[in-house]
């Protein structure tokens, strides 16, 4: 198998640290510390009903061009628009053009290590906060803790689904969704340990005649974006140790890269040929067809690959 590509991708934004910057109320200056309580007192004196904060958890899709009408409507209602770009690729400038307003990045530290407390503070102050997430916001569990904490505090939340790479990568490869098996993620070895779980998933899916969709490790803040040739090299190394016939050179596979962007690529063919392709566009998803693909699926994979396998 060919050697692995460089793990780090050019052009990733540097991670932002230290929490969210002060965010102005619509049409007014930035709030001073403790102004949430002062605002509540003012509303009480004027007998205005206190407005409850609302969280809009919105899926961007693989690219901002896949935003739905409902997503745009919720964004237009928000006082604050935040976007996380560490779980997937986000063209921030393109996103701001589409939604017609500024979007502030939030980091993994903001949402996970700091438990989203800056967002919770804004909600407690009665603000409407839109958090924009690559793909579909609830396909993975990354934002589940924020959602459950919002609920525990008795605050309102809305979820706007987005186009997800699962199962979009499978169907754009030409394969049938009702034959989709369990999904797994291929990650780089850590501390010399190679995680073999994806190999086990492929083996189990094969036994049921199902296709295997593999997400490849991606972290926008750390500049990590695994390529398909690296993933195939990892799987091949596992095969050489286990010798169970799961990863074979004649196996039919597909690579979907940068779905929704101008450098979008879909390449399908035998594993031996695909592993030699230098596909740079990220993020990438690897699909291994069932050992018994339907003849229509084979023809579809050929047609789609001939249209979008733009490499070199």
pLDDT in tens, 87-124: 899 999 999 999 999 999 999 888 887 878 999 999 99
Count CB-CB contacts under 10 A for residue 82: 23
Residue where one domain finishes, among candidates 104, 139, 160: 160
With left for phi above 0 and alpha for psi between -120 and 50, is residue 108 left, alpha or beta? alpha
pLDDT exceeds cutoff 60 at 256: yes
Assess whether 192 and 104 both reside in one domain: no
CA distance 69 to 123: 24
Assess whether 205 and 85 both reside in one domain: no
Assess whether 143 and 216 both reside in one domain: no
pLDDT in tens, 195-244: 999 999 999 999 999 999 999 999 999 999 999 999 999 999 999 999 99
Give 143's pLDDT tier (boundaries 50, 70, 90): confident
pLDDT exceeds cutoff 60 at 297: yes
Residue with more model confidence, 26 or 91: 91
Assess whether 172 and 147 both reside in one domain: no
Residue where one domain finishes, among candidates 139, 160, 181: 160
Assess whether 104 and 147 both reside in one domain: yes
Any idea what the CATH number is for the domain that residue 224 is in?
3.30.950.10
Tell me how many domains the chain contains. Answer: 2
Domain containing 130: what range? 35-160
pLDDT exceeds cutoff 80 at 265: yes
pLDDT exceeds cutoff 70 at 17: no
Per-residue model confidence (pLDDT) at position 113: 79
pLDDT exceeds cutoff 70 at 133: yes
Assess whether 107 and 191 both reside in one domain: no
Per-residue model confidence (pLDDT) at position 2: 47
Please state, in angstroms and as integers, the Cα–Cα distance from residue 261 to each residue in 79, 87, 145, following that order: 28, 16, 30
Assess whether 302 and 178 both reside in one domain: yes
Per-residue model confidence (pLDDT) at position 140: 74
């Amino acid at each position: 198998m060919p050697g692995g590509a460089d793990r780090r991708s050019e052009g990733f934004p540097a991670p932002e640290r230290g929490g969210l910057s002060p965010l102005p109320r619509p049409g007014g200056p930035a709030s001073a510390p403790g102004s949430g309580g002062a605002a509540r007192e003012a509303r009480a004196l004027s007998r205005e009903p206190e407005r409850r904060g609302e969280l809009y958890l919105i899926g961007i899709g693989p690219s901002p061009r896949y935003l739905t009408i409902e997503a745009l409507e919720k964004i237009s209602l928000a006082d604050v628009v935040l976007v996380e770009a560490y779980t997937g690729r986000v063209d921030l400038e393109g996103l701001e053009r589409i939604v017609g307003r500024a979007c502030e990045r939030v980091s993994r530290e903001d949402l996970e290590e700091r438990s989203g407390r800056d967002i919770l503070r804004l909600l407690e102050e009665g603000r409407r906060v839109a958090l924009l997430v690559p793909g579909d916001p609830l396909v993975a569990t990354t934002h589940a803790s924020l959602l459950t904490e919002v609920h525990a505090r008795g605050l309102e939340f809305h979820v706007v689904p987005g186009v997800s790479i699962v199962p979009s990568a499978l169907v754009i490869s030409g394969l049938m969704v009702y034959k989709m098996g369990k999904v797994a993620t291929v990650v780089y070895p850590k501390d010399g340990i190679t995680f073999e779980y994806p190999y086990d998933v492929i083996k189990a899916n094969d036994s049921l005649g199902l296709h295997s969709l593999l997400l490849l490790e991606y972290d926008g803040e750390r500049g990590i974006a695994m390529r398909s040739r690296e993933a195939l090299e990892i799987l091949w190394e596992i095969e050489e140790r286990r010798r169970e016939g799961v990863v074979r050179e004649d196996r039919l596979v597909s690579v979907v890269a940068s779905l929704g962007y101008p450098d979008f690529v879909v390449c399908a063919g035998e594993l031996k040929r695909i592993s030699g392709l230098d596909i740079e566009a990220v993020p990438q998803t690897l699909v291994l067809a069932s050992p018994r693909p339907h003849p229509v699926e084979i023809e579809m994979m050929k047609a789609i690959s001939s249209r979008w396998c733009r490499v070199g």
